[in-house]
Structure 1
Amino acid sequence: MKKLAALLLFSALLSNFSIAQKVKHTFALGDSVFLLDKKPMQLISGEMHCTRLPRAYWRQRIKMAKAMGLNTIGTYVFWNAQEPEEGKFDFTGNNDIAEFVRIAKEEGMWVVLRPSPYACAEWEFGGYPYWLLKDKNLKVRSKDPKFLKYYRDYIMQLGKQLSPLLITNGGNILMVQIENEYGSYSNDKEYLDINRKIFREGGFTGLLFTCDGPSQMPAGYLPGYLPAVNGLDNPKEVKALINKYHDGKGPYYIAEWYPGWFDSWGKPHQGSNADEDAKKLDTVLSAGISINLYMFHGGTTRGFMNGANMGKHDPYSPQTSSYDYDAPLDESGNPTAKFYKFREIIQKHLPRGVKLPPVPAKNKTVAIPNIKLTGRGDLFSNLGKPIAADKPLCFEDLGQGYGFVLYRTTLKEAASGLLRVKQMRDYATVYLNGKRISVLDRRLSQDSLKLDDAKKGDVLDILVENNGRINYGPYLTDNRQGITEKVTLGDKELTGWKMYKFPFGNTAGFKFSQNNDADLQPALYQGSFNLSNVGDTYLDMHGFGKGFVFLNGINIGKYWNIGPQQTLYIPASWLKKGLNQIVVFDELKSGHTKISALDHPVLNEVIKE
């Protein structure tokens, strides 16, 4: 009988769980607040992007959000991660946005989804796929029919993944953002309404909203839909702005509130004052306003997916791989002093008797000394088959999105004068007969050098790196990479080019020989190491120049000796007990024989150039 009773109890619990999972909630706009099941709800949300976080840690990071007092996760979806090549969709691994949303539901968290094809987010090309740029005449973020066709195809695929997880279908996605800060770019309401129609066609039922900075709201809002505000935390101003563009009503939602900021190469690590931020958060919550912390947890921009800023009066400025953001949860997912101050504020605003869950333990860290780099693969010894053309071709015309292209020509006559790479994007090392003679950097408006006494038959090599396409501002549509116009020497254009592609999606096929101290040429350095225990660690890039690192086949990000980032975060889940493989590419320095990893990050060390 006891066994039968236990079985019946288990069956009843299972049945109740099943019913609970099928319960449908409602989420609506009230005149001043959001309404969950017709009752007031204040969104206390924090932004995280699954693509920037190791999949193995998604649940732990969401538990951290819950422990700080958040009830909602805000998240972008990056088109170029989900459709890296035209028609080839990837919803696996770190791109499995649906699984990220499901884990949030299992942990009792709601989601505000931001799947706009344009995300900004310090992400390469603002989230647009590079292959849109293959057609010189196609214009992104416009009513161009060719662009809208690709846009629609993507949203249809995304809808298959995510529409079942909307609150209107029994899921935990409360509302969906269309476009993103569109007022910073243009003011075409017809284009915005096309966005709305595409989302509806893709199955995104329920609430849609827009978000813009205060001065951009007139251009960026879509009449009839909730206009959220970014970067504002004065309750009176927030309410007045949203009232103005929403028929005198709320709810009042700050879609991006910045308790931190991102880093750019060559500039100091950014941050904000935790005590002042806590006071602002207290003020917003006291006013009953809903808020999304951008970022709650930034993570890392892996591979070649960092973006760049550039304004009419601001030079090109690429962002670092670390997206630590001085956020409440640091790059490796550990709580900061800011986390605990915010947790204290949020706890104060919870109903009496409601206590926040305990904060999960910090991650274990390890140091890894003296990793030997025993193999070297010179780039010039691994050229492969070139593409030949009279004039240099940009990355997009070569069918390449990221990484490097080596442009080579043989001088047809002796010459001296100014060698200029017109519209070079974005960073280049220049070689004459295999010897490096200059570095060109778009950040510093460097596109030329003095070439003296070059001889007929000399080989000129220009290794050009995509340092990150612009993700925000007026130059968003001008994002083709490589040598995008021409190369001149003196008053003559150089022709007869061979182009060698190095997308570095992986390092397979590279030939390595025994390491030796060679000239300043770009090279891959290969090594291995054994671990008996794993933990989070930080690869120490002091002594290296500029490049990227593969660990166990994963591109863990870029480094650059100018800083401020001097370490690369390696999550424990990407290390193995036993043998691990590492490959370091360096385009500036040579002769590397070892590398090590620290048990802490170094994110604020700028080296003067």
Structure 2
Amino acid sequence: MYKIKYILAPLLILAMLSVNAQKTTHTFKLADSVFLLDDKPFQMISGEMHYTRIPREAWRARMKMAKAMGLNTIGTYVFWNIQEPQKGKFDFSGNADVAEFVKIAQEEGLWVILRPSPYVCAEWEFGGYPYWVQNEKGLIVRSKESHYLKEYEAYIKEIGKRLAPLQVNHGGNILMVQIENEYGSYGADKEYLAINQKMFKEAGFDGLLYTCDPAADLAKGYLPGLLPAVNGIDNPAKVKDIIRKHHDGKGPFYIAEWYPAWFDWWGTQHHTVPAAQYTGRLDSVLRAGISINMYMFHGGTTRGFMNGANFKDNTPYEPQISSYDYDAPLDEAGNATAKFFAFRDVIKKHLPAGQALPDVPAKKTAITVPNIKLTSSWPILTNLPAPKNSLKPLTFEDLHQPYGFVLYRTKVQGGKTGTLRLNGLRDFAIVMVNGSRAGTLDRRLNQDSLTVSLPKGQVTLDILVENLGRINFGKYLLQNKKGLTGKVLFAGSELQHWSMYGLPFDNINTLKYSTASNKTNQPVVLKGHFDLNKVGDTYLDMQDWGKGVIWVNGHNLGRYWRVGPQQTVYVPVEWLKKKGNEIVVLELLQPHKTISAIDKPILDKLNN
């Protein structure tokens, strides 16, 4: 027993010292021109990456890449619709464990800039708002409306319980916390911003708070007394001038979003910008002592149904693709790009004396997987769930369904040809007559009607509607209901008496498959299995397919669509195994019996 005590005592002392070391608090303050970390000048060289867009198993690896490029800080949003998917039901498990993401960053020697406001934009579904806020009567987002503030307060307090203790003044690594997000591009109510500040403080965020806005909107979006960070410009003189103008003639100076490239949406060219166009600008910003956050350092993937969409007056609806590669320094799989090495060379020039960067981790292995057989299927018009019935079509929100698909069914007396018009289609529809596809309608193309010929007798009319992503930016945030949101007319007459079948595809394990051959042209779910000699990142090649969603080993990897520019779906190595991998494909238009994976992405191919 004495020997055991002598052995355990030093171990206990070491453990206590380790805990105390982790609880060491720091100070982070504003000086007239610089940030002060423990009263010493500190320049943030930060890069944005989002815990939700990276497999949890890869968080640490991505952070090591950040350190290797020379970053000392990472920025992340917190996504309300991930943390509270249904009202009052919070989730901080798995990939939603944002506190663990922050803690891993601390273990890897990285500071964090936290952006937990309910609105994030971020090319994310509904700008981060949960779908259910649209069901709250009278609720107006980004306003002083009481119902909104009540839900906002409940959310931010829940976030505060987990993340406020991780601020630098409490022994953590969160340097600053952002209230709201580019509010000046939406409104100009300083009272509303002050309410934000008050709620954040009451939630425990008692360190440095700041706002960020594009330069043109900063006057409307900053709150006097808080640091006004600027987005989208990198001329050092202009950055300093605009921040001084709105901060009592002082700094410090922070570019909260510096864009090394841009995101993509379906049907448009893949965005890329050569590193050479940015290296000189990055060098001048760092030389001027300005802190910076690259948006994005690593984009990753917007998996599941979490992509957002843009929509403005006199412009088309623009749903974003699943790949969030962003032409960033780290590609979608987390590998260093030419931009990574170019930026690393710039950052090296500005390191404190005696400091060196760690070696860049080796490029990850990528594999090919030929000829995966899809051996069973589930045509979606079979084995449907129980319907909800209504005189008029119900929206996704009416059905309390956040994402995915809804099948709308009614009976029509046939024997005639006419125009079928879907008023307020949100967003993509497949029209079927007696189980056979009659056509598709696409909100992106302002399509809401097609000519349909009905056979004689009573006809079953099915309309499968896909939510392609709620608007994430601009004045239409509260015009985001999905499904059939208006009247459905055929030959000028309104169709009524609808049955609605919810198909959220949030649990594919409940689907009932058959090995029978599927020869219909209706949407179908296909399933197969495959083994691997070795695991590695891979990219499912969807160039010959039509439109749909893919799962591998239960993980929803996102959408594909032949229109492009994205033609592959990224499969992370972390979610593969050597034996017994399962693949599930929901194909809406053009199913095949086999599928293959290649060792590189195709993100730049458009089709008519």
Number of the residue aligned with 2:517: 516
1:8-47 matches, within 5 Å, as 17-47=18-48
Report the alpha carbon displacement of residue 6 of structure 1 after superposing the two structures with TM: 11
Q: Deviations over 1:551-608 (max 9, x none)?
A: 1111111110111111111111101121111110011113x11101111111111112
Number of the residue aligned with 2:572: 571
Number of the residue aligned with 1:539: 540
Q: Equivalents in 1 of 2:455, 2:152: separation in Å?
A: 49
Secondary structure of the residue aligned to 1:459 is strand
Number of the residue aligned with 1:582: 583
Number of the residue aligned with 1:297: 298
8 Å CA contact 1:432–1:460 kept in 2: the answer is yes
Q: Equivalents in 2 of 1:487, 1:455: separation in Å?
A: 21
Q: Deviations over 1:517-547 (max 9, x none)?
A: 5122100001001123211111111211111
Number of the residue aligned with 2:244: 243
Q: Mark the runs of 5 or more structure 2 residues left unpaired by the alignment.
A: none
Q: Equivalents in 1 of 2:16, 2:442: separation in Å?
A: 63
Return closer, same or farther for 1:151/1:416 CA change in 2, 3 Å cut-off: same
Q: Which moved more, 1:55-64 or 1:345-354?
A: 345-354
8 Å CA contact 2:538–2:598 kept in 1: the answer is yes
Number of the residue aligned with 1:187: 188
8 Å CA contact 1:541–1:561 kept in 2: the answer is yes
8 Å CA contact 2:379–2:518 kept in 1: the answer is no
Q: Equivalents in 1 of 2:188, 2:516: separation in Å?
A: 57
Number of the residue aligned with 1:379: 380
What amino acid is the match of 1:194? I
1:224-263 matches, within 5 Å, as 224-263=225-264
Q: Is 1:140 aligned with 2:174?
A: no
Number of the residue aligned with 2:216: 215
Number of the residue aligned with 2:165: 164
Return closer, same or farther for 1:136/1:394 CA change in 2, 3 Å cut-off: farther
Q: Equivalents in 2 of 1:519, 1:204: separation in Å?
A: 57
Q: Percent identity?
A: 59
Q: Which moved more, 1:175-184 or 1:17-26?
A: 17-26
Return closer, same or farther for 1:453/1:569 CA change in 2, 3 Å cut-off: closer
Number of the residue aligned with 1:324: 325
Number of the residue aligned with 2:550: 549
Q: Is 1:595 aligned with 2:595?
A: yes
8 Å CA contact 1:521–1:589 kept in 2: the answer is no
1:43-122 matches, within 5 Å, as 43-122=44-123
Report the alpha carbon displacement of residue 223 of structure 1 after superposing the two structures with TM: 1.1
Q: Equivalents in 2 of 1:199, 1:102: separation in Å?
A: 21
Return closer, same or farther for 1:164/1:453 CA change in 2, 3 Å cut-off: closer
Q: Equivalents in 1 of 2:409, 2:19: separation in Å?
A: 64
Q: Equivalents in 2 of 1:271, 1:348: separation in Å?
A: 25
Q: Is 1:482 aligned with 2:493?
A: no
1:281-292 matches, within 5 Å, as 281-292=282-293
What amino acid is the match of 1:401? P
8 Å CA contact 1:373–1:515 kept in 2: the answer is no
Secondary structure of the residue aligned to 1:147 is helix
Q: Which moved more, 1:410-419 or 1:169-178?
A: 410-419
Q: Deviations over 1:156-176 (max 9, x none)?
A: 111111011011211100010
Q: How many residues are treated as equivalent by the alignment? A: 605
Number of the residue aligned with 1:530: 531
Secondary structure of the residue aligned to 1:381 is coil
Secondary structure of the residue aligned to 1:139 is coil
Q: Equivalents in 1 of 2:149, 2:417: separation in Å?
A: 49
Q: Equivalents in 2 of 1:161, 1:262: separation in Å?
A: 31
Q: Equivalents in 2 of 1:351, 1:76: separation in Å?
A: 29
Q: Deviations over 1:354-400 (max 9, x none)?
A: 11011111112111111100111000112121111000000000010
Report the alpha carbon displacement of residue 17 of structure 1 after superposing the two structures with TM: 4.0
1:341-420 matches, within 5 Å, as 341-412=342-413, 415-420=416-421
Number of the residue aligned with 1:198: 199
Q: Mark the runs of 5 or more structure 1 residues left unpaired by the alignment.
A: none
User: Normalising by the residue count of structure 2, what TM-score does the alignment of the two structures yield?
Assistant: 0.97
Q: Equivalents in 2 of 1:219, 1:41: separation in Å?
A: 28
Report the alpha carbon displacement of residue 502 of structure 1 after superposing the two structures with TM: 0.1
8 Å CA contact 1:416–1:489 kept in 2: the answer is no
Q: Deviations over 1:38-77 (max 9, x none)?
A: 1111110000101110111111100100110000000001
Report the alpha carbon displacement of residue 351 of structure 1 after superposing the two structures with TM: 2.1
Secondary structure of the residue aligned to 2:345 is helix
Q: Deviations over 1:162-213 (max 9, x none)?
A: 0110112111000100000111111111111111111111111111111011
8 Å CA contact 2:414–2:454 kept in 1: the answer is no
Q: Which moved more, 1:247-256 or 1:524-533?
A: 524-533
Q: Deviations over 1:310-345 (max 9, x none)?
A: 111321000011000000000000000000010000
Number of the residue aligned with 1:560: 561
Q: Equivalents in 2 of 1:390, 1:508: separation in Å?
A: 32
Report the alpha carbon displacement of residue 455 of structure 1 after superposing the two structures with TM: 4.5
Q: Equivalents in 1 of 2:11, 2:66: separation in Å?
A: 31
Q: Equivalents in 1 of 2:7, 2:72: separation in Å?
A: 34
Report the alpha carbon displacement of residue 92 of structure 1 after superposing the two structures with TM: 0.9
What amino acid is the match of 2:552? L
8 Å CA contact 1:78–1:127 kept in 2: the answer is yes
Number of the residue aligned with 2:277: 276
Secondary structure of the residue aligned to 1:518 is coil
Q: Quote the RMSD (CA, aligned, Å).
A: 1.8
Report the alpha carbon displacement of residue 484 of structure 1 after superposing the two structures with TM: 0.8
Q: Equivalents in 2 of 1:251, 1:355: separation in Å?
A: 26
What amino acid is the match of 1:224? G
What amino acid is the match of 2:86? E
Report the alpha carbon displacement of residue 22 of structure 1 after superposing the two structures with TM: 2.5
Q: Equivalents in 2 of 1:317, 1:66: separation in Å?
A: 35
Q: Deviations over 1:283-328 (max 9, x none)?
A: 1001110000000000001100000011113210000110000000
8 Å CA contact 2:409–2:462 kept in 1: the answer is yes
8 Å CA contact 2:377–2:518 kept in 1: the answer is no
Number of the residue aligned with 2:427: 426
User: Normalising by the residue count of structure 1, what TM-score does the alignment of the two structures yield?
Assistant: 0.96
Secondary structure of the residue aligned to 2:597 is strand
Report the alpha carbon displacement of residue 508 of structure 1 after superposing the two structures with TM: 2.4
